[in-house]
Structure 1
Amino acid sequence: MKLANPAPLGLFGFALTTWLLSMANAGLLPEGALMPLVLAMAFAFGGTAQFFAGLMEMAKGNTFGFVAFCSYGAFWWSFALFVKFFVGGIPATVAGADVGAAVAWYLFVWGALTFAMWIATFALNRAVFLVFTALVPTFFLLGFGKLLGNPLLGTIGGYGGLITAALAFYTGAAEVINEAHGKTVLPLGTRA
């Protein structure tokens, strides 16, 4: 029995949620206007759909897809939980730089995981490699922006997120379109 390819579901869940949050990080739209949508996407599509895609990758025996989609699905859940339920409960005496430093370390540990996954992409197609090549600096730029209280780094990180989202969207679209047409319509840059 042939199983469907879960990668496009995970890639689209990641791309669309990343796109919305990155628009706020880049300063293209007010954070207050976007955040309810980002949280909804983070719970439903970025988190849940991506996590299920990871479980489907496990069933197919794809360790990279399993770890990537389940990890970033959990990232979106943890992000949404923090913003919705926990950040508001931080006492005012702890707010400010301490929260910024905590968020920075949250972003740094995700950057470290992403770096490890990026090394694995050297063996995969170039499209997936490019997604992770853009995502690694995005996490670190956003993290240093929070740690240093430097909004410019956060803005640059937001634009990095938009590039990452566009690459992930292209990769997901290529997977669906190529399979539907039974030929390569959008190249993924397969490794030799």
Structure 2
Amino acid sequence: MSSSSSSSTVEKSKFETTIIQEVSSHGDLITLGPHTYRREELLNVLESQQKPVYTPSTQRKLANPVPLGLASFSLSCLVLSLVNANVRGVTNCKLLISLFMFFGGAIELFAGLLCFVTGDTYAMTVFSSFGGFWISWGCINTDQFHSISAYDSDPVMLANIEGFFLAGWTVFTFLMLMCTLKSTWGLFLLLTFLDLTFLLLTIGVFTGNNNVSMAGGYFGILASCCGWYSLYCAVVTPENSYLNLDAHVMPHFPTV
């Protein structure tokens, strides 16, 4: 047993190159050919050889899709509001249909789906919903859909159905506004002015008062400006610009 006590340490290289012809065990000792090992040490060596080696996967950092959604909405809202406000006498928005459907609609819907990936439920709901709004507004103003021409014989019904459409978005925007009371001032003012925009447009359509609709257009311009500001605050960093702006969080803004 003197040889067994001197070879208690398991040597991996010796174990791999030795041809084992005889195996025997004596209590806590196991003899493999001319060498004797402790049972526990031998099992540890065998387990270490059988364990697969796992390399930790490198997690990729996802980009923030919120600025993309803000860019899509702010640009579309600005140009439509300029038309609603009759700036420079422009009242026809046919040229903007492609902007509404692709940049305002498809891109904003895409930003909303990216927010789903990042786990931002609020941004997903807002961007996806307004992406649908811009697509539907583009379809309404597309002659091939006959959305407006179908009411040529009854303009009063056209005004009422358009008012219903805008009233629904007024309610939705108000609900989203209530979820910004602990966010940033830019986002809060954006949805505040936007809700006033929808409200005034709804009243203007129902009453046939173009001045009220024009006022809604001016509030839409203010909403788009707040969107531009929030967009810039979200993308600017000390690494890419010398002009850094603060998002100005509201009271009770969550810090964790």
Give the TM-score normalised by structure 2: 0.70
How has the CA–CA distance of structure 1 residues 180 and 140 changed in structure 2, closer, same or farther, with 3 Å as cutoff?
farther
1:77 partnered with 2:130: no
Rounded to whole Å, the distance in 1 between the matches of 2:162 and 2:151 is 16
Which structure exhibits the higher relative contact order, with contacts defined as CA atoms closer than 8 Å and separated by 6 or more residues? 1
Query: Whose strand fraction is larger, Structure 1's or Structure 2's?
Result: 2
1:98 partnered with 2:157: yes
For the 8 Å contact 1:178–1:186, the answer to whether it is kept is no
Rounded to whole Å, the distance in 2 between the matches of 1:60 and 1:38 is 31
CA deviation after TM superposition for structure 1 residue 91, in Å: 4.1
Larger radius of gyration: 2
Which aligned pairs between 1:1-192 and structure 2 lie closer than 5 A?
Answer: 1-29=60-88, 30-32=90-92, 35-84=93-142, 85-94=145-154, 96-178=155-237, 181=240, 185-191=244-250, 192=253
SS in 2 for 1:174: helix
For the 8 Å contact 2:159–2:205, the answer to whether it is kept is yes
Could you tell me which runs of 5 or more consecutive residues in structure 1 were left unpaired when the two chains were aligned: none
How has the CA–CA distance of structure 1 residues 101 and 178 changed in structure 2, closer, same or farther, with 3 Å as cutoff?
farther
Task: State the superposition RMSD in angstroms.
Answer: 1.8
How has the CA–CA distance of structure 1 residues 179 and 17 changed in structure 2, closer, same or farther, with 3 Å as cutoff?
farther
SS in 1 for 2:179: helix
Q: Which moved more, 1:164-173 or 1:70-79?
A: 164-173
Alignment length (residue pairs): 189
CA deviation after TM superposition for structure 1 residue 105, in Å: 1.0
Moved over 6 A (4+): none
How has the CA–CA distance of structure 1 residues 176 and 111 changed in structure 2, closer, same or farther, with 3 Å as cutoff?
same
Letter in 2 for 1:137: L
CA deviation after TM superposition for structure 1 residue 37, in Å: 3.1
Rounded to whole Å, the distance in 1 between the matches of 2:207 and 2:86 is 18
How has the CA–CA distance of structure 1 residues 186 and 86 changed in structure 2, closer, same or farther, with 3 Å as cutoff?
farther
CA deviation after TM superposition for structure 1 residue 190, in Å: 2.1
Letter in 2 for 1:89: S
How has the CA–CA distance of structure 1 residues 101 and 159 changed in structure 2, closer, same or farther, with 3 Å as cutoff?
same
Query: Whose helix fraction is larger, Structure 1's or Structure 2's?
Result: 1
Aligned-residue sequence identity (percent) comes to: 30
Could you tell me which runs of 5 or more consecutive residues in structure 2 were left unpaired when the two chains were aligned: 1-59
For the 8 Å contact 2:112–2:127, the answer to whether it is kept is yes
CA deviation after TM superposition for structure 1 residue 183, in Å: 9.9
Give the TM-score normalised by structure 1: 0.92
CA deviation after TM superposition for structure 1 residue 179, in Å: 7.6
